[in-house]
Amino acid sequence: MREIITRFGRHNIGFLWLFAEPMIFTLAITAAWTATKGVHGSELPIIPFAVTGYSTVLLWRNVANRCGKAVEANGALLFHRNVKIIDLMLSRIILEIGGATISFVVISVAFIALGLMELPDNIFLMLMAWLLTAWFATGLGFIVGVISEVSELFDRLWHAFTYILFGLSGVGFLVDWLPTGMQKVVLYIPMVHGTEMLRHGYFGDSIVTYEDPVFLILINISFTFFGLLAIKRLSKTVTPE
């Protein structure tokens, strides 16, 4: 609760910005892509393509960004015996995952109700894709959160690096559209598999996707393990301010 109040305040719509922020961004991107439908060359319905792509980006990027400097911003809470560094990060992670999830569901339901999107082909596959991406975002958030506490340079570079990852994450393309050599490169990027899997669940067999859930799970396990290990080591060096 303190995290919500600290971030959004008690005035205006307050914590509703947790859901409104990702919804506004997603709607803006969807509108822009719809307006340029004549030049992107794809026959896919642009609205569900934009919604499924940009929503996954908001999920992992917002979680990782919010974990940056989480300890520095809330270090005073560590005076409380039961509050640990992982609690500070998990509170932010849960908020961002919740906000992105509600945004994705509300936008999708609204567009389906308005006839702008069809019903998904495989909701279960979409759910698995979302959960795996949320897990990836959690592990990534742990790692980014710890490194940002020990390196000011990394904290600055990370935000710039996310723009590169944004373009490579599959938000604006399907792997099948790329040349064979480029396909092999982008499939080493974990979030691409989450995006491909989510779109496979929505569009079904009408598109060709190259997701590898096993690869993503292995990456998630590795990120979570090293992230938790890094948090444990950081806990030994950080003192309450």
CA distance 170 to 195: 6
| Within-domain flag for 101 | yes
Asked if pLDDT for residue 1 goes beyond 50, the answer is: no
| Within-domain flag for 13 | yes
- Residues 56-115 have pLDDT tens digits of 998 999 899 988 887 776 666 666 677 788 888 898 899 889 888 988 998 899 889 989
| Within-domain flag for 151 | yes
In sequence order, what are the residues at sequence separation of 6 or more whose Cβ sits closer than 8 angstroms to the Cβ of residue 193? 132, 187, 211, 212, 213, 215, 216
pLDDT value at position 8? 47
Longest CA pairwise span in the chain (Å) = 59
Question: Model-level pTM?
Answer: 0.85
pLDDT value at position 235? 83
| Within-domain flag for 162 | yes
In sequence order, what are the residues at sequence separation of 6 or more whose Cβ sits closer than 8 angstroms to the Cβ of residue 43? none
What is the sign of the dihedral through the CA atoms of 21, 25, 26 and 28? positive
pLDDT value at position 212? 96
Helices (H), 41-151: 46-67, 70-74, 85-113, 123-150
Comparing 32 with 239, which gets the higher pLDDT? 32
pLDDT value at position 119? 95
CB 169 within 8 Å of CB 191: yes
| Within-domain flag for 241 | no
| Within-domain flag for 119 | yes
Average pLDDT value for residue range 208-224: 96
| Within-domain flag for 240 | no
Comparing 148 with 78, which gets the higher pLDDT? 148
In sequence order, what are the residues at sequence separation of 6 or more whose Cβ sits closer than 8 angstroms to the Cβ of residue 26? 50, 51, 54, 55, 58, 103, 104, 107
pLDDT value at position 37? 55
CA distance 143 to 141: 5
Q: Which domain holds residue 190?
A: 2-235
What is the sign of the dihedral through the CA atoms of 140, 145, 150 and 156? positive
What does the mean pLDDT of the chain come to?
83
| Within-domain flag for 88 | yes
Report the domain count for the chain.
1
Q: By three-state DSSP, how is residue 238 classified?
A: coil
Confidence class of residue 16 from pLDDT cuts 50, 70 and 90? low
Asked if pLDDT for residue 5 goes beyond 70, the answer is: no
Q: Which two tokens stand for residue 238?
A: 């950080």
